[in-house]
Structure 1
Amino acid sequence: MTSRPDQPLLLQQVQLLEAEGVEPRCADVLILEGRLAAIGSSAAAEADACGARVLEAMGWLLAPALVDPHSHLEDPATGAAETLDSLERSALAAGYGTVALLPRASSWRDRPERLQPLAAISPLQWLLWGSFSHGAQGLDLACHGDQLAAGAIGLAEAEQCPPLALLERGLTLAECGHSPLLLAPREPSLSQGGFVRDGVDALRAGWPTDPPISETLPLASLLALAQRHPQRRLQLMNLSTAAGVDLLRQLPAAQRPEATVCWWHLLADSGNLDPIAEGWRVVPPLGTPADRFALQQALADGLITAVAVHHEALDAEEQLLPLDQRKPGVAGHRFVLPCLWQELVHGRGWSAAQLWQSLCFGPARLLGLDPPGLTLGSNRWLLFDPQRPWSVAQDPWGPRAANQPLLDATLTGQVLAAGLNPGLAAVRLPA
């Protein structure tokens, strides 16, 4: 038995996480046409009046939709690996309400005309990063002011640090104002051609290794520039090493740039990933167990502001290439919430509010958005069951990407409904 997508729902004694800095509380919640219609004592009476379906929701969590601060989508219209429609469908089913796309695309988003809205009407909030340099070549500055005036959420670059002289020039000219400038602390010339961080497990497996200095050296330069230009909002993209965390921790809190970490680096490392598993080839590379634990602790301590999906889709043909020849990256918004709930909430004792700080409130602040929250009339919510098992292979809401790292897994924890995806509740809510 399934319910109608538009059927009113009364969630009895659901865990309600309303806003940043507020712990969840038990409450009855009425949902009408996908929007929060009543909370608390009035919900039951209004539910009777509209003939709502009643669900015992003890143990479920009702919380604001998630925010992805950066992902990739190279060809939104006709992409072989992913399109705007397929990514939107999977992100909404995973509980995301906002996805910000990095400038790399078939037509690099470095000009105002390339920063037009991707969809005329969409339930998902699509945001676009502009480009710091033309085509991320690091040769000359793109027109920062024009991109921001055209709607860019901020400026970003490729998966490496731009030349310091160009970066200093851009920060001094200050066309970016107080808009975010998202940069990866990575220098490929120092990577020695490796794609796993130095460590015993990587050496034992025979992988070519990438030393931490490929992150720490450019990171030290970025931190120095951030102190030199405190009025700019320089942000660090995808911190990945314990050594990088240590550099960030040495700074006073007021001087630390905001930083992101890819969800996959919080889950996988060179010691816990099977040698034949999907997910070895990512940029920045996977680290050691010590790197992973340091990143988790930095997130708990607030040194890292936000968890990014950093979705990078490959098609089936490219996925057949040898590991050292294919493009790096992993795909899949749908893995983030259930996997991090098991890893951080169940495994490390985090509260739901702490996890939402990393997946929702922190990313929104990093993007300069209004603080997310649950208010009457809002449809930007998700309903999550932390105990619900589900098979990834049998889930019809996944992306098209061939490089999803957990395709054969059975995961625990699933988004049951989302206000921005009315059809989801009809399929996933229990009969």
Structure 2
Amino acid sequence: MTSSYFFENIQVLEKAGSSLKREHVLIKDGVIKAFGRKALENAELLGIKTQKAKNMLLAPCLVDPHSFLESPFNGKEETIYTLIEKAISSGYGQLGILPRGDLWKDQIESIISLKAIKSEVLIHLWGGFSLSGKGINLSKHADLLKSGAVGLSDDDFMPPIELLKQGFALGEMKKSPVLIAPRDKSLQAGGMSRQSVETLRAGWSLDPVESEIIPLIQLLELHKQYPEIALRLMNISTAEGVSILKNASSKPMATIFWWHLVNDNSSLSPFDIGWSVTPSLGSPIDRVSLIEGLEDNVLAAISVHSTPTDDFETKLPANKRKKGISCYNIVLPLLWDQLVRKSGWKVEKLWEKISFGPSKFLNQAEEKLSLDSNRWLLFDPDKEWYQSNHEKHLTTATNQPLKDKKIFGKVIDCGLINQVYQND
């Protein structure tokens, strides 16, 4: 970005642990140059006019702990290049990419090829826990981590507990995180939504709560046996899951899929794209419990968990198409609306769950605002706009929810530069 701004008394959140404050800020050519009185003096010298701050916020970049990118170099629906462009336009400075793909990230070569891509958006690759995500044989954990994997994961369901025990006993991951989804596909049995009156009314097949609870209990017991392993839980989605995790003696860090915070199975029509997601959409009681779990720090981070699909796939019936939604640009606006406006959260709490917490989840340094840095985003919570496939920064991924709907709140700018190059 080459934007230059001078804001008087804009809302500023500097870093984890700091409080929201109003302060003068000078940004020149996308780089933060001064705060406070010095910002005012330098802006006058440079001839940069004051812009109205109103309710806008300058804050550190966001962090997504895990999403899918299955065809990073030749995907019809998304590539590493379009993903980086989308991330910047939405204020994301770090992205975690899960192993599933045309070339599973269970081999050193698949990690190295993506690590060669350099950009100001930091890409963190989860290496495959098992070969091809089949849950039969372990991948070479130590080699994947030495080659640059941020940690180990599998698909969006739990591999056999015996294989997890084998990998944990070997302990080649050392302190690197191991991300596992507490979901049993066989118990889910193709169910689309958690049991509720709304699910029955919509005509969807039921996804029993046991599909999450049974694997979650197994994972917590495994964590007690191997407390030295940095276990991470992917996308807790039920009130029962939050309760079990809250009362557990051993509490691994856990994420929640952002869509589960802003919608439930009482708020969608049968034709909405947002029904077909993993984990399955829950009831209003689930959604309230998930928000409380975040507020009480039972849940550590909010994931985007993007799963882009092309137009052919998106147009299939909801119970036939590949599950998942793809979006970055509406995550912050909708979370702001739900958590800040409606639930009364402080901005500091929201950023803990969408930036600082995800960084800890990935074992990475937290984002922060600092002089001579371009790692910032500018958010206007009052901006009104319409979500559309034709927006500049959206790609051919068409499974985006809330199309042609009015959205309140928008990332106005981000200091990161959209330049991507590949090391030789």
TM-score normalised to the size of structure 1?
0.94
**Is 2:163 aligned against 1:166?**
yes
> 2:25: which partner in 1?
29
Aligned pairs for 1:38-53 (under 5 A) are: 38-53=34-49
- Aligned partners of 1:281 and 1:329 also within 8 Å: yes
- Aligned partners of 1:8 and 1:51 also within 8 Å: no
> 1:215: which partner in 2?
212
Q: Which runs of 4+ in 1 moved over 6 A?
A: none
Aligned pairs for 1:344-423 (under 5 A) are: 344-393=339-388, 395-421=391-417
> 2:422: which partner in 1?
none
SS in 2 for 1:279: helix
> 2:261: which partner in 1?
266
Deviations 1:253-278, CA, capped at 9 Å, x for gaps: xx200000111111111111111111
> 1:429: which partner in 2?
none
Aligned pairs for 1:138-153 (under 5 A) are: 138-153=135-150
Q: How far apart are residue 87 of structure 1 and its match? A: 1.3
> 2:326: which partner in 1?
331
C-alpha spacing 1:373/1:313, structure 2 compared with 1 (3 Å): same
Amino acid at match of 2:27: I
Q: Distance in 2 between matches of 1:422 and 1:154?
A: 26
- Aligned partners of 1:338 and 1:386 also within 8 Å: yes
Aligned pairs for 1:101-250 (under 5 A) are: 101-116=97-112, 118=114, 120-250=117-247
> Any stretches of 5+ residues in structure 2 without a counterpart?
420-424
Q: Distance in 2 between matches of 1:399 and 1:288?
A: 31
> 1:276: which partner in 2?
271
- Aligned partners of 1:260 and 1:306 also within 8 Å: yes
Q: How far apart are residue 117 of structure 1 and its match? A: 5.1
Amino acid at match of 2:310: D
- Aligned partners of 2:378 and 2:413 also within 8 Å: yes
Q: Distance in 2 between matches of 1:248 and 1:7?
A: 45
RMSD: 1.3
Q: How far apart are residue 78 of structure 1 and its match? A: 1.2
Q: How far apart are residue 6 of structure 1 and its match? A: 2.9
SS in 2 for 1:68: strand
- Aligned partners of 1:193 and 1:210 also within 8 Å: yes
SS in 1 for 2:245: helix
> 1:428: which partner in 2?
none
SS in 2 for 1:116: helix
> 1:427: which partner in 2?
none
Q: Distance in 2 between matches of 1:353 and 1:214?
A: 34
C-alpha spacing 1:372/1:6, structure 2 compared with 1 (3 Å): closer
**Is 2:18 aligned against 1:19?**
no
- Aligned partners of 1:161 and 1:183 also within 8 Å: yes
Amino acid at match of 2:365: D
Q: How far apart are residue 322 of structure 1 and its match? A: 1.7
C-alpha spacing 1:241/1:12, structure 2 compared with 1 (3 Å): same
C-alpha spacing 1:315/1:170, structure 2 compared with 1 (3 Å): same
Q: 2:299 aligns with which of 301, 304, 312?
A: 304
Q: Distance in 2 between matches of 1:226 and 1:7?
A: 48
TM-score normalised to the size of structure 2?
0.96
Q: Distance in 2 between matches of 1:205 and 1:214?
A: 21
- Aligned partners of 2:67 and 2:305 also within 8 Å: yes
